[in-house]
Amino acid sequence: MSRLLLIAFDATEAENGAAFGQKLGLPWDVLCLSGDCSADLGAEKTFKSDRTCDDPADGLASGLLALVRGYSHIAAISSMRSKDVLARLAGLLNAAMVTDAIAIESPSLFKRPIIAGAVIATVEVLAEPVVITFRPAGFGSANRAGSSASESISLSFESTAKVVATTARGGSRPDLTQAKIIISGGRPLRDAETFERVLGSFADQVGGAVGATRAAVDSGIAANELQVGQTGKIVAPDLYIAAGVSGSTQHMAGIKDSKIIVAINKDPDAPIFEFADLGLVADLFEAVPAMQEKLK
Amino acid sequence: MKILVPIKRVVDPYAKVKALADGTGLDTAGLKFEINPFDEIAVEEAVRQKEKNPAIEITVVTIGGAECEEQLRKALAMGADKALLIETADVMDSPSVATELAAVAGELAPDVILMGKQATDDDCNQVGQMLAAKLNWPQATFASKLDLTNSSALVKRETDSGEETLELSLPAVVTTDLRLNEPRYIALPGIIKARSKPLERRAMLTQPKLLTRVTRYEAPPTRAAGRKVGSVDELVSVLRERGAF
Ligand SMILES: Cc1cc2nc3c(=O)[nH]c(=O)nc-3n(C[C@H](O)[C@H](O)[C@H](O)COP(=O)(O)OP(=O)(O)OC[C@H]3O[C@@H](n4cnc5c(N)ncnc54)[C@H](O)[C@@H]3O)c2cc1C
Ligand SMILES: Nc1ncnc2c1ncn2[C@@H]1O[C@H](COP(=O)(O)O)[C@@H](O)[C@H]1O
């Protein structure tokens, strides 16, 4: 039977993932692993788990196994956590998997970027079930309609791995994947203090998030969860301001869905100017404070 | 203690790769091929663990064509002890790679499988987790620090919101992230010197059954060309006009 289960790690993911559920064109249910998701997302059934989902992937995947049997499609928004858990689930199911779907051609045909977004591949699924992670930016927002039946379920997560420590930095700024404005910086920001003083204060002034290149993260200028790109976060804000970012393929792979990309770079030949909607050739240490002044 | 490192030969991650005009494949003519950067990090990590504990034996394995010998030789030059080339001309997907690697693991009985989190050509990020599931071993993906004892692994891993440390009992699968280490540079003479290390070639142990296949490769949609602005004042007013602030 063709049916989709959307796995949402929290209620926001259920909202942001609902458009995928609607576009796939199959009857679908949603499992919300923490929090309460709304009943008007277009799903037939809403499963509410009695457990939160901080468990290691092996426990989560085996806990989900009983519930996902009977579904032809199992999907979640792309994140490090969903890739950790869903690929393991696909392994347990001996299932096909499509990572980072950006478009649905049919329930067995999906488009996804490969080689850091340099090429788009159309992937045909040859056998069901299929496990999918998808980037929500490709699917727009969901039509709110209907009222799904809610069911509480009990999942048992038994993990052989033990969580010894967690550092969730978070803070007061919006999440990178949700932010409307992102101020992002690269290697020239020098150190964590400079990054925070120059870009952090700008982000706070405009209510945005901060992002960084791999070079900035590798040199300790920014925290790892702020890395944007092929192997970091994929973002889609209304405004992405990249200051002191060269524009490598790997970085650009993470920001292509931004509505407006602004580049501030002192090298007029920096590759980022090929992609930016608006480019300013300037020293970021002068341009950024000047922008802040203008916006006061 | 045995560490198995699966590596993949990929097109140079810094090259500009395009789809063939007819959409049937990738145009890699004239491009270099390398060890997938995340797998190179895995090889480096295995070698560093061996430097701390000489009782470790490192086997690198790849599934692919005869040309993959080049990447295996480089891994041997970095410090791996043995290489295994599972030669096939078959098209593989992640489940078939994971199935074959599980069979290899069944035979070699490693304590740790250390491998890349993703291949930079297909960007799948699947095989490590699928392999761990098939073996029913614990997994730690996106590792940024690894401490091994004879019976356990302490892995610091990157998460969406920061970091977490997992303790796994061995055997286990660990996949590498960018910040685990910086691989050593190996010059050509080093690769030639490593030629005396054993490299075994053999056929697949399992029969691949494809669950997905790529039917078309195409260029991504292009963004409309942008323009340069002359000053901060102009930048801010254009952004205001467009409703960005
Ligand atoms: C497997 C792999 C995965 C990767 N994944 C990612 C990823 O996910 N994300 C990512 O970002 N990168 C990734 N990279 C790295 C990527 O290739 C680049 O090395 C990196 O993005 C460069 O970062 P950068 O722009 O900060 O640094 P640089 O390339 O050093 O660029 C700095 C730029 O700042 C400009 N500049 C210097 N001073 C100033 C100033 N005062 N004012 C204004 N401009 C100034 C310079 O002109 C230059 O253009 C990956 C690489 C590999 C191999
Ligand atoms: N053909 C292959 N041979 C050996 N290992 C592979 C192969 N393909 C993928 N891998 C391993 O699986 C990891 C993840 O790959 P992927 O899931 O394709 O992104 C890689 O970093 C390699 O360690």
Residues A20, A18: Cα–Cα separation, whole Å: 5
Q: Closest residue of A to B126, CA-based?
A: A87
Contacts of B121 (CB under 8 A, 6+ apart): A114, A115, B8, B10, B11, B36
pLDDT tens, residue by residue, A203-235: 999 999 999 999 999 999 999 999 999 999 999
The answer to whether A213 and A195 have CB atoms below 8 angstroms apart is no
| pLDDT at residue number B190 | 83
ipTM for the complex shown: 0.96
pTM of the model: 0.97
Q: In this complex, is the C-beta atom of B226 within 8 Å of any C-beta atom belonging to chain A?
A: yes
Average pLDDT of A179-208? 98
Residue B100 CA to ligand 2 centre (angstroms): 11
| pLDDT at residue number B223 | 87
| pLDDT at residue number A53 | 67
Check whether B193 has a pLDDT greater than 90: no
Check whether B187 has a pLDDT greater than 90: no
pLDDT tens, residue by residue, A257-271: 999 999 999 999 999
- Per CB-CB distance under 8 Å, the chain B contacts of A83 are 125-126, 129, 141
Verify whether the Cβ–Cβ distance A262 to B235 is below 8 Å: yes
Sheet with A260-265: list strands edge to edge. A209-212, A181-185, A239-243, A260-265, A278-281, B227-229
pLDDT tens, residue by residue, B31-80: 999 999 999 999 999 999 999 999 999 999 999 999 999 999 999 999 99
Residue B143 CA to ligand 2 centre (angstroms): 16
Out of A95, A164, A279, the one facing B166 most closely (by C-beta) is A164
Out of B129, B215, B218, the one facing A88 most closely (by C-beta) is B129
